Amino acid sequence: MSERDTERSVSQTVRAQLALRDMILSGRLRPGERISELQAVDITGVSRTPVRLALVRLEDEGLLQAIPSGGFMVKAFTERDILDSIELRGTLEGLAARFAAERGVSARSLEPLKECLADLDQLVRQDPISVEAFSAYVTMNARFHAILNELSASAPLIREIDRVSALPFASPSAFVMAQSALPEAHQILLLGQDHHRIVVDAIENREGARAEAVMREHSRLAARNLRLAVRNRTHLELMPALALLKSSAE
Amino acid sequence: MSERDTERSVSQTVRAQLALRDMILSGRLRPGERISELQAVDITGVSRTPVRLALVRLEDEGLLQAIPSGGFMVKAFTERDILDSIELRGTLEGLAARFAAERGVSARSLEPLKECLADLDQLVRQDPISVEAFSAYVTMNARFHAILNELSASAPLIREIDRVSALPFASPSAFVMAQSALPEAHQILLLGQDHHRIVVDAIENREGARAEAVMREHSRLAARNLRLAVRNRTHLELMPALALLKSSAE
DNA sequence: TGCGTCGCTACTGTATACATCTTGCGTTCA
DNA sequence: TGAACGCAAGATGTATACAGTAGCGACGCA
């Protein structure tokens, strides 16, 4: 039904954007491959005008790269690019946390964040964590990060964080599912949750430097997950984002 | 001549983008004002297709805001938004400097930065600084920042810095010209140049934390300039970016 | 056999016509 | 007199036709 709704109500541009993004992330369009407008028309079934807009949007989303002579190609990323993007997100989220801490947040507006924290606590408490719980964790984790960013009350900053997190391998939840297959899974989850706890505490006590530092460190868990998961090589299918890696690592 | 070249060789899309950006920054399109495609067609003289692309590009450049029901309006910024954008740029440039310092930069690739530093030294040495020298300073300062960012050797980071600096009030040179009218002008220039000197030194000695901290502080000079210039209210014409401020400050 | 040039093909850039939707104003009814 | 409904105007969303250009291949000449 929601499928139907999507097909009917959403604009052709958005539909094309979703279809193309899916093709890229699933690896059916390989990094470096040129993607012509007509090809995109074939894929998406809409005409060139919305396809063109979709391509432009995917370009500034960072998934495509403009070719000087015209047209677009699928962007390729190195492992270093991915790690830098994660560090970048951590830096921005750190700034958001610092803003929240330094500028002060009312007890009332801190409430949703604390509720979210409690929900996450509930989830990580199970010892062998079920796949469903992992999935719920991903959702709730994204929510936690979103609320935290909002607390910065800085529109320009939130905009940039959203932008950076749109890269499939830079989002706070990018490698959580991959992590679920690791033996260290539970321990990493507990570490992450402790970071969450600390940042809430730091904001409450207006400790800007502490809030910033812990969010930076928090993002490095994603980097650690990435390295572990790539090394183990099993469950690469849990990380669709890796389809964008330059061939060497594939 | 370059005018001619622009008119001839550049695509209609780019031409429309430039014309519209100019209209916005010059204040002829006021913040909050809706800008219809047909209106934009009248302004730019090109047809709706390239106009549309130009509008989309200006949206993700941050100058326009999409209206939910379709179309775009000129984005309005608060003084707080501007200050946050400056802090944001400082944070990103700080990260770039830290990357450069921690990862190490060869003496050879540090050379252009040092040359740039020496050129800047030459410029700030004059005591009553001429307007021409100020103008030259703006150019050279932009060059210094560009080289510094490149030294991070991080494509994703450079991309974001460029993006943030594209906002007319967030670029490293945004308020330098405005500053030229202030009595404190020379002193501020010397402070900024000292920051430049320190960051080069820190990178050379692989002091990541120092390089990061000084670039953050460096960006706050822009915030200080902004505040001073707004308070003095003279020479607001040197800061076209302020056309985007929400009405209160105008 | 290699290099240069010519021509073709297929792509992107642009304009415009048509369809759909939203918004605002006017009219009518309670 | 106020509110709600309907219509009209103008906006955006979409499709497509046409023009211009770049890239590639083939052919010819040295």
Average pLDDT over residues A12-26: 94
* Residue tagged 């007319």 (tokens): B168
Q: Residue A83 pLDDT > 90, yes or no?
A: yes
Helical residues (DSSP H) of chain A, grouped into ranges: 2-9, 12-25, 37-44, 48-61, 79-103, 107-125, 131-150, 155-166, 176-179, 185-204, 208-232
Weakest mean pLDDT among A160-164, A229-233, B110-114: A229-233
CATH 1.10.1520.10 assigned to B2-74: no
Residue in B56, B88, B160 nearest the CB of A95: B88
Average pLDDT over residues A233-244: 75
B88:A156 CB<8 A: yes
Residue in B88, B99, B156 nearest the CB of A81: B156
In chain A, domain spans: 2-74, 79-241
Average pLDDT over residues B177-199: 89
B157:A84 CB<8 A: yes
Rg (CA), chain B: 19
Type of residue found at A95: L
The answer to whether A103 and A154 have CB atoms below 8 angstroms apart is: no
Compute the C-alpha angle A142/A176/A118, nearest 5°.
50
Pick the residue with more confidence: A82 or A234? A82
Within an 8 Å CB–CB cutoff, is residue A204 touching chain B? no
For residue A166, how far is the Cα from the chain centroid?
A: 6
Within an 8 Å CB–CB cutoff, is residue A160 touching chain B? yes
Name, in order, each residue with C-beta under 8 angstroms of A8's C-beta and a sequence gap of 6 or more.
Answer: none
Q: Residue A6 pLDDT > 60, yes or no?
A: no
* Residue tagged 């740039």 (tokens): B116
Average pLDDT, chain A: 90
CATH topology of domain A79-241: Four Helix Bundle (Hemerythrin (Met), subunit A) (1.20.120)
Residue in A52, A85, A157 nearest the CB of B88: A157
The answer to whether B61 and B85 have CB atoms below 8 angstroms apart is: no
Within an 8 Å CB–CB cutoff, is residue B158 touching chain A? no
Residue in A88, A154, A156 nearest the CB of B156: A88
Question: B56 contacts in A (CB within 8 Å)?
Answer: 53, 56-57
Kindly compute the dihedral angle of the four CA atoms of residues B221, B226, B228, B234, in this order, to the nearest 10 degrees: 140
**Which one of A172-176, A242-246, B41-45, B242-246 scores highest in mean pLDDT?**
B41-45
- Using one digit for the tens of pLDDT, what is the confidence trace for A133-158? 889 999 999 999 999 999 999 999 99
Q: Residue B118 pLDDT > 60, yes or no?
A: yes
**What are phi and psi for residue A74, nearest 5 degrees?**
-70, 130
Listed by number, the residues of chain A in 99-128 with a beta carbon closer than 8 Å to a beta carbon of chain B are: 99
B57/chain A closest Cα distance in angstroms:
8
CATH 1.20.120.530 assigned to B79-243: yes
Residues with CB under 7 A from strand D: A 11-13, 46-50, 53, 69-70; B 35-39, 48-49, 52, 70-72
For residue A45, how far is the Cα from the chain centroid?
A: 28
Question: A88 contacts in B (CB within 8 Å)?
Answer: 92, 95, 156-157, 160
Interface with B, mutate which of A57, A82, A83, A85 (most B CBs under 10 A)? A85
Residue A9 pLDDT: 65
Within an 8 Å CB–CB cutoff, is residue A88 touching chain B? yes
Residue A4 pLDDT: 39
* Residue tagged 């079934």 (tokens): A45
Name, in order, each residue with C-beta under 8 angstroms of B78's C-beta and a sequence gap of 6 or more.
Answer: B245, B246
Gap between the Cα atoms of A59 and A114, Å rounded: 37
Within an 8 Å CB–CB cutoff, is residue B49 touching chain A? yes
Name, in order, each residue with C-beta under 8 angstroms of A228's C-beta and a sequence gap of 6 or more.
Answer: A179, A182, A184
Residues paired with residue A245 on neighbouring β-strands, in sequence order: A77
Average pLDDT over residues A37-49: 95
Residue B245 pLDDT: 85
The answer to whether A22 and A243 have CB atoms below 8 angstroms apart is: no
* Residue tagged 């989850």 (tokens): A189
Residue B234 pLDDT: 62
Weakest mean pLDDT among B65-69, B89-93, B175-179, B209-213: B175-179
Residue A249 pLDDT: 38
